[in-house]
Amino acid sequence: MSNRALAAWTLLFAGTICNADPSSSFDPAAAFGARPSVSKMRLSPDGMSAVYIAPARGQGSVAYTLSLAKGSVPKPAFAADGKPFRLDGCHWVSNDRLVCVVYWIVNDAIYGSTRLSRTVAMDSDGKNVRVLSMLENEHSRGWNIDGGSVIDWLPEEDGAVLMQREHFPDDHLGTHVVNTAEGLGVDWIDTRKMIVKRVESARSDAVDYISDGRGTVRIMATRQMVNSGEKISPILGFSYRLTGSKEWRKLSEYNTVDRTGFNPEAIDHDKNVVYGYKKKDGRLALYSLSLDGELREELIYANPEVDVGGLIQIGRRNRPVAAAYSTDVGRAGYFAPEIGSQAQSLGRALPEHLINVLDSSLDESRMLILSSSDVDPGVYYIFDRNSHQLQTSLVVRSQLEGVKLANVKPITYSATDGTQIPAYLTLPPGREDAKGLPAIVLPHGGPSFRDEWGFDWLPQFFAARGYVVLQPNFRGSGGYGDQWFQKNGFKSWPIATGDVLDAGRWLARQGVADPSKLAIVGWSYGGYSALQAAVVDSTVFKAVIAIAPVTDLAALKEASRYWTNFQLVSDFVGSGSVMHEGSPIEHVDKIKVPVLLFHGGHDANVGIEQSRSMAARLKSAGVKCELVTWDELDHQLDDSAARTQMLRKSDEFLREALGL
């Protein structure tokens, strides 16, 4: 669908709401499978209104605005019905206008499933819809996949933004409408009238721009092409400008594969520095570089155990205030003392909770806080810094209000070689002693991710159904530095899979679980890990559930064949013997336990053929296997009914397979 058609569609569907029917009896599969009732909440510049996303039928979503005055009710502003358009989130561009991102999945015989997005603006009542992404036409030479992003909200300019957008040349050669611009550029856009002014000319090698929060582009990232322009280099080059200058100077380089060099993230205008990530002792740390021509480097925060995982920013100018990291639980290293002091006060008011500052008013006097824990999916609060009042706003998962949830305990267990593997252990609600209970090992996806302490609907469901759940951060997980990462979870699959198997052995050895009632469940790479564990040792787990799993490493590489990142993907997955030995689909004869597979037909991360081929091979080998698919769903299976079906089916499968 064209951008103009998309704009017309938004006018037709804005305000379409679909509420789920409340049920008097508690249904765990429906309650835990339901999408969050409130997500991605953001605060208006004056701090007096909020916008949030609520689910509708299927994959649909509605953006609601809510005045924070007492007695106010939410009002629909914008909606996407999920067929195919979906709503990714909204921000305020002024006190009465929003900017939202819409995305959808397209299937192509050559390129596979691909996620496309567009950025649109509308008034808070859903009127005056404008498409901010570049418009395509039948003459455009290129495919506009990413609809661009706002890099500066320009709070002093009512309804205007700085936006980086991809430009494509067209074939109107020899006419007055020819467009020769190509690549990523930056434009000033009046979102009400769609007046556009060029700020940075499009460059074919540009991949990102960073503004100083005051309307000036100070940093540009570029990436070179290799192999005659067919593939992209893993090296990003960063340039910066002195205050008041238009001349680009070299800032740094960063290797996206081995994480060497300095990777800039955000600028502090008042300090005239850029914050970014650089390795210290094999782990990512937060540094700053001065932008005055001297490039003076300062270590802001480093942790001896884990990587710095992100930069916490607040306000309409995205002011950097803290380094985010996670040891046993998520933490923040504040370098803005006044915000750190406020965070400590909030921590005392909301003990044993994770406190996340999500947004603030322009003057930072009112803050949007999300408080959550392992037994609390989350509550949004408005914190008034002047009066020190904390006002409850909305709960994240209304379906779980009043439901007793399971505590999540950080632990370590011993791998075969003696290495202590960090993990999270969840016991059924109210249980102190789990001996003899059925158990599930639940490896995370990625593989370069890691699990963190807090609420997670999938293990909480299984805990509610009486299972012990262990989530291992096996070697190959991200967040623990280079040594722990190994070569990554694919190339180093024997180590990663060994750690996952050792998680099951530990449960049995400690008597935490009955060895005859031990299963493994995983999503994405976690699904790969579950299947590969059954290949390596089919005696540990008595049943396997794999959701959107990688099953064939060669096919995973081949899926990116016609994309410029093919070489990067190929290098990441590996080559040689790992392709055969590391692919579960090549060893179905070694799997001796029943397998349940789930997959969405519009999965842009892992193609559905990975599961279809695996199911066919398993059945040919005489392995009991069932594959459940949904034609229109993507990798996240972001549909409450589908997730409910998946949870209910999984519970039934496990109870039969484990003899419960």
Please report which confidence band the pLDDT of residue 511 belongs to, taking 50, 70 and 90 as the band edges: confident
Question: Which is it for the CA torsion 526, 529, 534, 540, positive or negative?
Answer: negative
Nearest Cα to Cα of residue 504 among 407, 596, 593, 415? 415
Tell me whether the omega of the peptide bond preceding residue 447 falls within 30 degrees of 0, making it cis: yes
β-pair type (595-600, 544-547): parallel
H helices, E strands: number in the chain: 12, 35
In the chain, % of residues over pLDDT 70: 93
pLDDT greater than 60 at residue 22: no
**For tokens 């609520």, what's the residue?**
54
DSSP for 183-220 reads: EEEEEEEETTTTEEEEEEEEETTEEEEEE-SSS-EEEE
How much is the pLDDT for 351?
92
Cα dihedral 338→342→343→348 (10° resolution)? 140
> Cβ–Cβ contacts within 10 Å for residue 185, how many?
21
Q: What's the CA gap between 633 and 58, in Å, rounded?
A: 9
On whether the CB atoms of residues 428 and 464 are closer than 8 A, the answer is yes
Q: What's the CA gap between 119 and 520, in Å, rounded?
A: 40
pTM for the complete prediction? 0.93
Type of residue at 373: S
Q: What is the mean pLDDT of residues 397-417?
A: 96
Q: What is the mean pLDDT of residues 624-644?
A: 97
Q: What is the pLDDT of residues 452-488, one digit of tens each?
A: 999 999 999 999 999 999 999 999 999 999 999 999 9
- Whole-number mean pLDDT of the chain? 91
Q: What is the pLDDT of residues 137-155, one digit of tens each?
A: 555 555 678 899 999 999 9
Type of residue at 301: Y
Q: What's the CA gap between 207 and 601, in Å, rounded?
A: 30
Question: Which is it for the CA torsion 525, 528, 532, 533, positive or negative?
Answer: positive
How much is the pLDDT for 5?
36
Q: What's the CA gap between 68 and 66, in Å, rounded?
A: 6
Q: What's the CA gap between 206 and 312, in Å, rounded?
A: 25
Domains annotated on the chain, with CATH: 408-657 (3.40.50.1820)
Q: What is the mean pLDDT of residues 402-412?
A: 96
Q: What's the CA gap between 618 and 576, in Å, rounded?
A: 24
Q: What is the CA radius of gyration of the chain?
A: 25
Q: What is the pLDDT of residues 31-76, one digit of tens each?
A: 999 999 999 999 999 999 999 999 999 999 999 999 999 889 999 9
Please give the distance of CA 644 from its chain centroid, rounded to a whole number: 21
Q: What's the CA gap between 310 and 277, in Å, rounded?
A: 9
